[in-house]
Structure 1
Amino acid sequence: MGETDSEKWFRVYRRVPEGVRLFCFPHAGGAASYFYPWAGRLPDGIELQVLQYPGRQDRVGEPCVRSVPALADRIHAAIRPRLNRPYAFFGHSMGAVVAFEVACRIAREEGAGPAGPAHLFVSGRRAPSCVRHEELHRAGRSAFVAEMRALGGTDPRVLEDDTILDFVLPTVRADYEAVETYRFGSWEPLPYDVTALAGESDPKAAVEDVRAWSRHTRGTFGLHTYPGGHFYLDDHRSGVLDVVSSALTTAAPGRKPLPHP
């Protein structure tokens, strides 16, 4: 994958000359701009780069990727040139399993490729080993919009405007197809530290199912819960950023700079 092709996958909202690169992976239907408010609230030494999936915002003309493994393959290829210094992943909802799958690909090639992430943060998503059979991506328009309304995270004005819905629903539905058809493979537990975060009343990710991320790491594991539902982090941004910043401030100094691949 050429550098130009790689660049279109990332939006750099906060650039620092050295330190930890924090890569954020958005939720289903989400775009890179969801994480833009984080840029001004991270401490010195943490750079913010956010994935921009095909099919949204400035990539709206590209077809969506309807499979988590296929999306992870493409991101893995695009991200490798950026792993030349300590880094971490933060994924929310669908973004959590995409980040996990990218981390699995990095773990498989460690020794021959870049070192792995200093930390993996997984938010608002049950562990890959907790399977729930869902087919909302096949549901009719009204059921699909009702789901979006119940979860929050979407401007209510969007849900009431048929013209805008006609524009955004295909992307959201494609992402739901990717995440609902995702099935955990047979990866070994990751050798990286993992922190899971959850809303206490999230209908999509019960706290015990989020706790099960502990099965997927040989490193340290932590769980943080917050009042709220699927988009709890909208109301608890400061607390979430404190957790991220604390973990990265602790982890980063012990990691040596990575060679450019």
Structure 2
Amino acid sequence: MGGTGEGHCPDGGTATTTPARVLGTAAAPTTWLRCFHPKPAARYTLVCFPHAGGSASYYFDLSAALDPDIEMLVVQYPGRENRLFEEPAGSVAALADGVHEALRTRLPRRPAFFGHSMGGLIGFEVARRLESAGGTAPHLLVASASSAPSVRTDRLTSGGAGSEPGHEAEPEPDDAVLARIMGLGGTSDGVRQDPELLQLVLPAIRGDLRALSEYRVDAGAVVGCPVTVFVADGDVDVPLAEAGAWGAHTTATADVHVFEGDHFYFSGNPPKFLELLQDAVRHSHSGTQLI
């Protein structure tokens, strides 16, 4: 799930050092968005969509590392942290619908999206919804360690999360589910050591895997904003060719940046990653093509 810090947030979740602001109006608060480092004077907004099995606090350090002109909002999916006792969403569409509803009237400015792994697909679907509704649509989608929607080979869910139509799949053993998620590096090792915590987080992990295994999109599905692809040379789950195919899903420009590392190549926020991410956010907002 990610995030092992101390402290109690006003929305019921945990923060690594400081409380998180929960975005929303007094009349309609939302638990879908968390802001660990509020920056009222920031010029840019970056909305982060976590990976499968991930939670908002995993991205606390990335939020802290951003320059003062970029404020990060992190999506919190149901079934984890401050939303632990909510029913996990079972589809990418349900997750995208929830985030879209939370974002459409609460964005202070036109945002950029950063979606890691499964988060790339959810960010893509939220962007499509915002564009269709004529709302404050993103000016950029950064698809990180995420195969393009129409060419995914579902390596992450190949262990049995899906089933043939008309046939109910046997529930996968807990250890197998955890091994696949934890093997990517985005879930705390402490989860495996705590049986009670394990039982609490497994429904959300299973829900994410089910959502991924059942997600389908036409090859012609597109967004109108540019797409910047971040992929690692050692990521066995996201081949470069599948990441590069994001260009077919935008009517604007697309570019690809290759990093050293594995599926969680940005762990520790290496300088090259931070520089390229922040440059992409700033330059796409101004209409400048990032080279």
Distance in 1 separating the partners of 2:180 and 2:101: 33
1:246 aligns with 2:279: yes
Gaps of 5+ in 1: 256-261
Distance in 1 separating the partners of 2:35 and 2:223: 27
Q: Is the 8 A contact 2:120 2:146 kept in 1?
A: yes
* 1:32-78 alpha-carbon deviations (Å, 9 max, x no partner): 11111122221221111101111110111110001001111111111
2:235 to 202, 210, 214: 202
Distance in 1 separating the partners of 2:125 and 2:73: 18
Distance in 2 separating the partners of 1:118 and 1:188: 17
Aligned pairs (5 A) from 1:181-196: 181-185=214-218, 188-196=221-229
Gaps of 5+ in 2: 1-23, 162-170
Paired AA for residue 142 in structure 1: D
What's the TM-score, normalizing by structure 2?
Answer: 0.79
1:83 Cα shift?
Answer: 3.0
- State the match for 2:16 in structure 1: none
1:6 Cα shift?
Answer: 4.6
1:14 to 28, 31, 37: 37
Paired AA for residue 138 in structure 2: P
What is the aligned-residue RMSD (CA, Å)?
2.1
1:33 aligns with 2:57: yes
1:130 Cα shift?
Answer: 0.6
Secondary structure at the aligned position of 1:85 is classed as coil
1:85 Cα shift?
Answer: 1.3
Paired AA for residue 232 in structure 1: Y
2:89 to 57, 60, 65: 65
Distance in 2 separating the partners of 1:235 and 1:215: 31
Distance in 1 separating the partners of 2:233 and 2:104: 35
Structure scoring higher RCO (CA < 8 A, sep ≥ 6) equals: 1
1:50 aligns with 2:74: yes
Distance in 2 separating the partners of 1:217 and 1:155: 34
1:201 Cα shift?
Answer: 2.0
Instruction: Considering fraction of residues, name the structure with more helix.
Output: 1
What's the TM-score, normalizing by structure 1?
Answer: 0.88
Q: How many residues align?
A: 251
1:124 to 140, 145, 159: 145
1:241 Cα shift?
Answer: 1.8
